[in-house]
Amino acid sequence: MPSLKRILVTGGAGFLGSHICERMVDEGHDVICLDNLFTSQKQNITHLLTRPNFEFIRHDVTRDIWLEVDEIYNMACPASPVHYQYNPIKTMKVSVMGAINVLGMAKRTRAKVLQASTSEVYGDPDVHPQPESYRGNVNPIGIRACYDEGKRAAETLFFDYHRSNGVNIRVVRIFNTYGPRMHPFDGRVVSNFIIQALKGEDITLYGDGSQTRSFCYVDDLVEGIIRMMNGPDSFIGPVNIGNPGEFTIKQLAELVIKMTKSKSKLVKLPLPKDDPTQRQPDITLAKKHLKWEPTIALEQGLVKTIDYFSKLDLRQFRKPTDHTAHKSSNR
Ligand code: NAD
Ligand code: UDP
């Protein structure tokens, strides 16, 4: 029986954060979910609100907060390109000031703190697949930079607090993850394609669909993150967590159409600027140090995700931003 801990999950009402909260509540820990609900809604955590060991605080992570905790999962940050480009300056603030705030809290309370970093630190990679030693190819002045550079700066802060103040850190670089509790209007490729296919609308391929991504099912991802948090202090990362199964975006579209038996057609829209052409995690380190690798293949994970979206009452969800990329879900 593991000892009971006080755990803070920033961004805990979001897609990944809500799954981490649920796992921690089920294990009996005392869980604080901190979120300003920018890109999520309370629906993701309503089932936890009645649990005595769960608490929700509506708060912006860029603002100071004092809490006494043993562990922090720092998940707060808009993650979909549509959301993080909506207010790019705020995105950079969330990454940098959010990191400073949780690191300060960790320093004061001697908590262990895990940063949700991203494959975006590799930018549009010219090394394939991407190992953690690859330093990346990020355009520092492009439209994705607010997120990519924000997350890179957050990694820097984590390592400097570790070296300068002895803060016990963990850094995970998350690759594209999908599954139940993604916001239906977050504009990411899996949620977009499934909703479009279920409604019989055109499937919006950006560019010719030859760009690749490697998709990890949420349960696998959460298991990897928790193993990293609970792993030895000698392995602080950064570590890639993702599924090496690589697909073109066109292949994903065709698979979703087949699995939903949809009559949707593919339409081509302009490729957003700086959209990475390829992405695949090298997970050698995660296998070695965490004994972790994904177990759920794309088609299996899509079955569960399609089932989730097909039962969702979309009228209960508002579009978090009026970004033009939401046009496809406005039709
Ligand atoms: P999400 O948008 O569903 O969740 C992010 C959560 O953070 C939301 O609940 C949002 O309201 C909250 N948030 C945003 N700004 C905040 C602020 N200023 N203060 C407090 N809360 C705030 O996205 P997600 O997919 O669950 O991503 C969670 C984390 O994992 C993010 O840090 C993201 O960068 C990282 N990540 C996710 C993926 C992925 O594929 N899902 C890939 C790489 C990295
Ligand atoms: N994409 C697409 N159609 C959509 C949404 C996304 O073709 O409706 C593409 C996008 O251009 C990118 C890939 O799918 O190449 C993954 O996009 P997503 O926004 O999910 O995340 P990213 O990995 O780019 O951060």
Q: What CATH number is associated with residue 51?
A: 3.40.50.720
- As a whole number of angstroms, the distance between CA 199 and CA 194 comes to 9
Residues 234, 87: one domain?
yes
Q: How far is the CA of 265 from the centre of ligand 1 (A)?
A: 31
Q: What six digits make up the tokens of 50?
A: 């009645």
Residues 74, 149: one domain?
yes
Residue 330 domain-assigned (yes or no): no
Side chain identity, residue 328: S
> Within 6 Å (CB) of ligand 1, which residues are found?
10-11, 13-17, 35-40, 60-62, 75-79, 94, 116, 118, 174, 176-177, 183
User: What residues pair up with 247 in beta bridges, in sequence order?
Assistant: 213
Which ligand 2 atom is nearest residue 275's CA? 15
Which ligand 2 atom is nearest residue 193's CA? 8
What is the pTM (predicted TM-score) of this model? 0.97
Q: Which of 213, 257, 280, 326 has the most ligand 2 atoms within 8 A of CB, as the residue to mutate?
A: 213
Residues 31, 146: one domain?
yes
**Residue 46, pLDDT score:** 97
256, 203 Cβ separation under 8 angstroms = yes
Residue 286 domain-assigned (yes or no): no
From residue 124, how far is each of 198, 212, 307 by CA, in Å? 31, 11, 32
User: What residues pair up with 240 in beta bridges, in sequence order?
Assistant: 173
Residues 187, 162: one domain?
no
**Residue 331, pLDDT score:** 35
**Residue 319, pLDDT score:** 78
In this structure, which residue's CA is closest to atom 24 in ligand 2? 275
Residues 235, 161: one domain?
yes
Residue 105 domain-assigned (yes or no): yes
Q: Taking the mean position of all CA atoms in its chain, how far away is CA 202? A: 26
Q: Which is catalytic among the residues 147, 161, 178, 217? A: 147
**Residue 328, pLDDT score:** 42
How many C-beta atoms surround the C-beta of residue 199 within 10 A?
14
75, 16 Cβ separation under 8 angstroms = yes
Residue 323 domain-assigned (yes or no): no
User: What residues pair up with 6 in beta bridges, in sequence order?
Assistant: 30
Residues 33, 169: one domain?
yes
Q: How far is the CA of 81 from the centre of ligand 2 (A)?
A: 8
Q: What six digits make up the tokens of 86?
A: 């909506």
**Residue 60, pLDDT score:** 98
**Residue 110, pLDDT score:** 97
Q: Which residues constitute the domain of residue 257?
A: 183-214+244-278+295-316
- As a whole number of angstroms, the distance between CA 13 and CA 45 comes to 6
Does the beta carbon of 174 lie inside 6 Å of ligand 2? no
User: Largest alpha-carbon pair distance within the chain?
Assistant: 58
Residues 118, 259: one domain?
no
In this structure, which residue's CA is closest to atom 23 in ligand 2? 176
Q: What six digits make up the tokens of 319?
A: 């579009």
From residue 5, how far is each of 68, 76, 176, 230, 323 by CA, in Å? 11, 20, 29, 12, 40
Q: Which residues contact 1 (CB under 8 A, 6 or more apart)?
A: none
Residue 117 domain-assigned (yes or no): yes
Residues 192, 228: one domain?
no
Q: Compute the half-sphere exposure of residue 33: CA atoms within 13 Å on the CB side of its CA.
A: 31
- As a whole number of angstroms, the distance between CA 101 and CA 36 comes to 15
Residue 83 domain-assigned (yes or no): yes
Q: What is the mean pLDDT of each run of 10 residues along the chain (331 residues)?
A: 86 98 98 96 96 98 96 98 94 98 98 98 97 98 97 98 98 98 96 97 97 98 98 98 98 98 97 96 98 98 98 87 50 35
Residues 18, 85: one domain?
yes
In this structure, which residue's CA is closest to atom 18 in ligand 2? 188
Residue 283 domain-assigned (yes or no): no
The total number of structural domains in the chain stands at 2
The H-or-E segment that residue 216 falls in is strand 216-217
122 annotated active-site: no
Residues 58, 120: one domain?
yes
Q: How far is the CA of 290 from the centre of ligand 1 (A)?
A: 23
Q: What is the CATH number of the domain that holds 196?
A: 3.90.25.10
Residue 308 domain-assigned (yes or no): yes
Pairing state between β 212-214 and 246-248: antiparallel
Q: What six digits make up the tokens of 227?
A: 């193993």
Residues 103, 46: one domain?
yes
Residues 13, 162: one domain?
yes
